[in-house]
Amino acid sequence: MRVAVVGSGPAGCAAAIALRRAGADVTLLGDGRDGVGEQLHPAARPLLARLGLGCLTGQLECVGVRAAWRSAVVHEQPFLSHPLGSGWLLDRASFGAMLRAAAAEAGASVRSPARLLGLTRGPSASSSGRSAWRLALSDGALDCDWIVDATGRRADVARLLGVARRRHDRQVALVGWLAAERPDDVDATLTVETTAHGWWYGCRLPGGRRVAGFVGPARRLDAHAWEAELRATRLLAPLLDGYRVVHAPVARAADSSILERCHGPGWLAIGDAAVSWDPLASRGLVAALASGLEAASLVGASEARLAARQEVIETRFAEYRAERVRLYA
Ligand SMILES: Cc1cc2nc3c(=O)[nH]c(=O)nc-3n(C[C@H](O)[C@H](O)[C@H](O)COP(=O)(O)OP(=O)(O)OC[C@H]3O[C@@H](n4cnc5c(N)ncnc54)[C@H](O)[C@@H]3O)c2cc1C
C-alpha cells in the first residue's frame, strides 16, 4: 500500500513511523513549518516510547502549570505526583526535526519542502476497489493509494475534497518570543493567566528564550501594544525581567474545530486536521501523536471501523466542548 502522509508535524511523523512499521510504502510530505513552542504533557511519554523516542535531548523539563484563571488565586498543578512524571517545554523546530529524522529512519521517504497543492483520483484507480490518487505538489506529482491528512488546522486534504469544518469559535493566539542572558531563570512551569480581553500563557524555551502568547477573540494588537499588555500581566511580567522581544508577535488560529467527516474513501484526517482544541487544554500535541500512531490500524480499514472512530472523535469533542463552555462561562 502506497500511503502519502501530508504534513510533517507530530501527527504526520507519528503516522509515518507507525505505517512504516505496519509495512506500508510511506511518503511523508511537508513544508517543515513547526509550532510556536509549547508544553508537552507527561501523557506523551508512553506515546514517545512507542515511537522509540524516550529521550527528548535539548528540550526543557516541565514540572507543572501555574494558572490564575478568572481569579486572583494562583492554582499550581505540579506534575510531581503525576504517575508518568514530568513533561517538557518544547522548542518545536528541534522537536519537529527529531520526529522527521525518526520517520526517515523508519524508512519513510521524506519529501520536504513539498506542499500539497491539489489532488485528483489517480490514473491507477484499480478494479480491486482500492482508491488511488494523484497529488499535485509544489515539487512535482505523487501517486498513492491512501492519503493521511496531517496538515494541522488547515486540513488541506479535506478542504480540497470539499469536506466542511465546524468552527465553534474564532479564537486567535498572538505569539511572540523573548530572549535574555538569564542563567538564573530556571522556571520549569507553564504560566497561564486571564486578563480583561482574554488570557496569556508563557514559558521558558531551550536556548535562553521564552515564548508568550495572548489568546482571545481576533483583535488588532501591534507589537508595541502586545508587549505593553504582556508587561502589565501579573504572573508573567515578573518572569520577563531582563528579557527583550526578539520576534514580533505572529497570529495563529486557536479555535476549537472539527471536520464534518474525518475520513472518506482512501483518505483519513489525523491530529489537528481532524479536530483542534483550545491551547488552554494543552492536549493538541498528545492527541496528534496518539492519532498518528492509530493511523496504522485505520489506513485501509473498513468503513464500519472508520465510522466507529468518527463516533469516538465526536463524543470526545462534545465532552471537551462542554468542559470548555464551563471554563469560559
Ligand atoms: C498558540 C498555541 C499554543 C499551543 N499550546 C499547546 C500546548 O502547550 N500543548 C499542546 O499539547 N498543544 C498546544 N497547541 C496545539 C499544538 O500546537 C497542535 O495541537 C499540534 O501542533 C498539532 O499537531 P499536528 O501534527 O496535527 O499539526 P501541525 O503541528 O500543525 O503540523 C501540520 C504540518 O502540516 C503542514 N502543512 C499544512 N498544509 C500543508 C500542505 N498543503 N502541504 C504540506 N504540508 C502542509 C504545516 O505547515 C505543518 O508543518 C497550541 C497551539 C497554539 C496555536
Domains and CATH numbers, the chain: 2-38+90-167+257-328 (3.50.50.60), 171-253 (3.30.9.100)
Nearest-10 crossing angle of helices 284-298, 10-21:
30
Cβ contacts of 317 within 8 Å, gap of 6 or more: 258, 275
Pocket-testing residue among 99, 285, 286, ligand 1, by greatest number of atoms within 8 A of Cβ: 285
- The pLDDT, as a whole number, for residue 147 is 97
Q: How many CB atoms lie within 10 A of CB 197?
A: 13
H or E stretch at 135 = strand 133-137
H or E stretch at 95 = helix 92-105
Write the secondary structure of 28-49 as one string of H (helix), E (strand) and C (coil). Answer: EECCCCCCCCEEECHHHHHHHH
Select the more confidently predicted residue: 157 or 80: 157
- The pLDDT, as a whole number, for residue 221 is 84
For the stretch 165-224, pLDDT in tens is: 999 999 999 999 999 999 999 999 999 999 998 999 999 999 999 999 999 998 888 999
Nearest CA, atom 9, ligand 1? 282
- The pLDDT, as a whole number, for residue 23 is 97
- The pLDDT, as a whole number, for residue 329 is 87
- Residue 104 to residue 17: CA distance in whole angstroms: 8
Q: Do residues 285 and 44 touch, judged by C-beta distance below 8 A? A: yes
- The pLDDT, as a whole number, for residue 78 is 86
- Residue 323 to residue 18: CA distance in whole angstroms: 31
284 φ, ψ to 5°?
-60, -40
Note if the bond before 10 is cis, omega within 30 degrees. Answer: no
- Report which ligand 1 atom has the smallest distance to the Cα of 285: 11
Q: How many CB atoms lie within 10 A of CB 15?
A: 35
pTM for this prediction:
0.96
Cβ contacts of 287 within 8 Å, gap of 6 or more: 271, 275, 277
Pocket-testing residue among 151, 165, 286, ligand 1, by greatest number of atoms within 8 A of Cβ: 151
Confirm or reject: Cβ of 254 under 6 Å from ligand 1.
yes
Question: Going by DSSP bridges, is the β-strand pair 38-40/189-194 parallel, antiparallel, or unpaired?
Answer: unpaired
Which one, of 150, 82, 136, 100, lies nearest residue 291 by Cα?
A: 150
- Residue 25 to residue 44: CA distance in whole angstroms: 26
- The pLDDT, as a whole number, for residue 82 is 79
Pocket-testing residue among 272, 276, 320, ligand 1, by greatest number of atoms within 8 A of Cβ: 272
For the stretch 269-324, pLDDT in tens is: 999 999 999 999 989 999 999 999 999 999 999 999 999 999 999 999 999 999 99
- The pLDDT, as a whole number, for residue 85 is 86
- Residue 59 to residue 189: CA distance in whole angstroms: 13
Q: Do residues 29 and 177 touch, judged by C-beta distance below 8 A? A: no
Amino acid making up residue 310: Q
For the stretch 110-151, pLDDT in tens is: 999 999 999 998 655 544 555 599 999 999 999 999 999 999
- Residue 188 to residue 59: CA distance in whole angstroms: 11
- The pLDDT, as a whole number, for residue 81 is 77
- The pLDDT, as a whole number, for residue 303 is 95
- Residue 163, classed as helix, strand or coil, is coil
How many residues belong to the chain?
329
Find the 278 Cα to ligand 1 centroid distance in Å.
12
Question: What are 144's three cell numbers?
Answer: 498513492
Give 133's strand partners.
121, 144
- The pLDDT, as a whole number, for residue 128 is 53
For the stretch 24-47, pLDDT in tens is: 999 999 998 999 989 999 999 999
Q: Do residues 24 and 1 touch, judged by C-beta distance below 8 A? A: yes
Percent of the chain clearing pLDDT 70 (strictly above): 97
Q: Do residues 110 and 104 touch, judged by C-beta distance below 8 A? A: yes
Select the more confidently predicted residue: 259 or 55: 259
